[in-house]
Amino acid sequence: MDFIFMLTRQDRTIEDCLELFDLIRPLGLRHVGFKDVGVSETVLHRLTERIRASGGKVYMEVVSTSPEACLKSAETARRIGVDCLLGGTQAQEILEIVAGTNIGYYPFPGTPFGHPTKLAGGVDEVERQCSAFMAQGCAGADLLAYRATDADPIELVRAARRGLGPQGRLVVAGSIDTMDRMRAIAAAGADAFTIGSAIFSGTYSPQKGSVISQLADVMADSVRLRLGEAA
């Protein structure tokens, strides 16, 4: 299961994202992302270039709340050239925006609302939407499982996995701040997960003080999960 480090806090890209990325670059993170709000497009473009130059895969997650803003964010993703675009609910329209690029698109199943984002919707809805995403040509889905208001998070992960089938990549985002949650979503079928705020708040490893220490612990635990050592 891939660990995607989000340079974000409270669903916003941190203002010193460029400086922080330079600091953590020696860790060798292979999946790094940011949100579509918090800093300018110019900064996001520079950040994209730095992540790619380090050998990393670039993710941008859409948290804009209006349909118009989501489509504008998809246009931004195309201009700056990210590898993966996460979020948004207008799958067909966003697929049209990124058509002809190498951007993989992962829309939100369910009904996201508010900021920081929460997720409404039940198991049947999520499974049905994920199946539709694959039929439309999406790369997978971005599930806000632990932000759910109407269903058990792990049941939603299982439903999304069923809907995506074996070909779709399932990213689970939001409020993953413990090894137990990582283990649970891995067992339920997640292919990747994001962590942002829990790194900056020190939630993941409460006895450690630096961002680098927090990241190192998550990276080590994600490797253990891949190797089947985290029983």
Rounded to the nearest integer, the mean pLDDT of the chain is: 95
56: DSSP letter: P
**Identity of residue 77:** A
User: Which residue did the predictor score with more confidence, 228 or 204?
Assistant: 204
Tokens 């993710």 belong to which residue? 59
The domain spans of the chain are 2-105+173-227
pLDDT tens per residue across span 154-192: 999 999 999 999 999 999 998 999 999 999 999 999 999
The answer to whether residue 229 scores a pLDDT higher than 80 is: no
Task: Please check whether the domain covering 2-105+173-227 is classified as CATH 3.20.20.
Answer: yes
pLDDT band at 91 (very low <50, low <70, confident <90, very high): very high
DSSP 30: S
Q: Extract long-range pairs of 21-28: CB within 8 Å, 24+ residues apart.
A: 21/47, 21/50, 21/51, 22/50, 23/211, 23/212, 24/211, 24/212, 24/215, 25/50, 25/54, 27/212, 27/215, 27/216, 27/219, 28/54, 28/55
Partner residues linked to 84 by β-bridges:
59, 104
Please state the pTM of the whole predicted model.
Answer: 0.95
Res 230 pLDDT > 80 = no
Pairing outcome for strands 118-120 and 111-113: antiparallel
For the stretch 41-58, pLDDT in tens is 999 999 999 999 999 999
